[in-house]
Amino acid sequence: MKLSFKIFLGICIPAIAVILIISSIVIDKNHQTNLEAERLAVVQNVKDVERNIKSVKEDVSVEIVELMSNSYEKKDIYVAYYDDENTLYSNIGNTGLGQEDIGAIEYNKYVADVKEHNSNFYVVVSTKLDDGKVLTIIKNINSVFETRKELINNCIYIVVISIIIIGILAYIISKTLTRPLEKMKKEMNKLSKGDYDIHLKEGHDEFGKLAKNFNSMSKELEARNNELIESANNKQLFIDNLSHEMNTPLTSIQGYAELMEKANLDEERKSKYLRYIQDESKRIQDMYKKLLLLSYKKNSDFEKSEVNMSQVFTEIGNTLEDRLKKAKIELIINNQLNSLYGDETLIIMSISNLIKNAINVSAPKSKIIVNAFEMNNHKYIQVVDQGPGISKEDIKKITEPFYRVDKVRSRKNGGAGLGLSICKSIMEMHNGDLKIESELGKGSIFILEFPV
């Protein structure tokens, strides 16, 4: 069932029910009022006759009753006057009613009843006089019931006309109320087909606010869809870059292997080519581990514990010792932290990546300073280098996978542009942040910020 039809019925049914109830109440109230007026009129007639009987002698009371009865009969009013044994006067036979239709009679009380006989309606009022005689007056009240019938017919006409008017108004109202919903339905069909160009009329009423929310939703869906498309493009770019990065070391390995197999080489050249193969293999292995971390570890749960920072820096120093000596760079570690809460392997990897990047950009006989300290409810690890610095544009992109500021230097040093991207992912996994402060010609500061 459509909403417009539900609204139509929701307006028509209660409105018609109210009209019928009010009409019934009005008709019944009017009828009861008319009946009560007739009862009071007949009671007054009885009192008039009673007063005239008491004002004359007993032997002429019957004549008085007869005289008044003759004047009443023209108005469809009939009188009966009798004692316990005899009927002194009566013309109620014209009504078809008898004494058996007269209810209980009491002294000086006026008992009124409504009787029906042969489709005629009468008001019957009786009273017992002081001398024991009974006075009864009966009046035809068909006019009261005809008035009710006429009123019922008029109400039927009014109800029919009201139903037509209410139906027309209900139809207009239902269509007016559901028009915005019909518009939304059409826009939803567009949205389901991928058309996000939706502009519903907004307002301050409920439908206007709903339209506003719907417009916001369509914009949000469009933004999310664009994000998904961009994400898919980025993934494809990621794969393309990975293929390119993997192709170089694989080609080198294949070339050196073929030379060793086919060429007549001395031991020195064989050792040199083996070192090349080992270096390229390590490069591939390192790249694989980093990519695996980015694609799997980032989205998985991992255990956290208290990590001893003294041991961490000792291990990093031992691991990078040969590399630092070869590059003729001094590593200075100022550690004021006892521990960090997180994954030890990931923390070591993030710090090591920053130091390796610093080594790659630092000149011989320069220094790399590592500061570890706590401040303002955060724990910080700074890696400060004396390299060439980074431009503001490069700082915005430097944490993207495969992005390299100095592509020639990075390729020469075997870098794939994944180190900072991994650091950023590791910090996100620790609810922390990676911050970069740099200026061209003045070196860089890479900051790992951990919550306490």
Average pLDDT taken over every residue of the chain: 81
Q: How many other CB atoms are there within 10 angstroms of residue 288's CB atom?
A: 12
CA distance 356 to 11: 77
* pLDDT given for residue 196 in this prediction: 66
Asked whether residue 174 is assigned to any structural domain, the reply reads no
Report H helices in 75-141: none
C-alpha dist (Å) from residue 212 to 174, 180, 205, 219, 309:
22, 12, 11, 11, 53
Q: List the structure tokens of 223.
A: 């933004």
**Domain final position from 134, 156, 178:** 156
Q: List the structure tokens of 27.
A: 């008709």
Asked whether residue 125 is assigned to any structural domain, the reply reads yes
**Domain final position from 113, 137, 156:** 156
CATH of the domain at 49: 3.30.450.20
* pLDDT given for residue 306 in this prediction: 92
pLDDT band at 412; cut points 50, 70, 90: very low
C-alpha dist (Å) from residue 100 to 38, 97, 394:
22, 8, 117
**Contact at 8 Å (CB) between 371 and 380?**
yes
| Average pLDDT of the residues in 98-123 | 79
* pLDDT given for residue 84 in this prediction: 73
CA distance 79 to 66: 8
Percent of the chain whose predicted confidence (pLDDT) is above 70: 83
> What digits encode the pLDDT tens for the residues 191-204?
776 776 766 777 66
pLDDT band at 101; cut points 50, 70, 90: low
* pLDDT given for residue 448 in this prediction: 94
| Average pLDDT of the residues in 191-219 | 71
Report the range of poorest mean pLDDT among 152-166, 286-300, 344-358, 405-419. 405-419
Report the range of poorest mean pLDDT among 2-11, 100-109, 133-142, 382-391. 100-109
* pLDDT given for residue 208 in this prediction: 72
* Secondary structure (DSSP) of 261-312: HHS---HHHHHHHHHHHHHHHHHHHHHHHHHHHHHTGGGS----EEEEHHHH
CA-based torsion, 398, 401, 406, 409: positive or negative: positive
The range of the structural domain enclosing residue 410 comes to: 298-451
> What digits encode the pLDDT tens for the residues 365-406?
999 999 999 998 999 999 999 988 888 877 777 777 656 555
Asked whether residue 285 is assigned to any structural domain, the reply reads no
Asked whether residue 279 is assigned to any structural domain, the reply reads no
CATH of the domain at 447: 3.30.565.10
**Domain final position from 100, 123, 156:** 156
Task: Please determine, for residue 349, whether its predicted confidence score (pLDDT) is greater than 70.
Answer: yes
The CA-CA-CA angle for residues 420, 421, 423, to 5°, reads: 60
Q: How many domains does the chain have?
A: 2
Asked whether residue 319 is assigned to any structural domain, the reply reads yes
Radius of gyration over every alpha carbon of the chain, rounded to an integer in angstroms: 54
Asked whether residue 199 is assigned to any structural domain, the reply reads no
Task: Please determine, for residue 85, whether its predicted confidence score (pLDDT) is greater than 90.
Answer: no
Asked whether residue 392 is assigned to any structural domain, the reply reads yes
Asked whether residue 23 is assigned to any structural domain, the reply reads yes
* pLDDT given for residue 295 in this prediction: 57
pLDDT band at 419; cut points 50, 70, 90: low
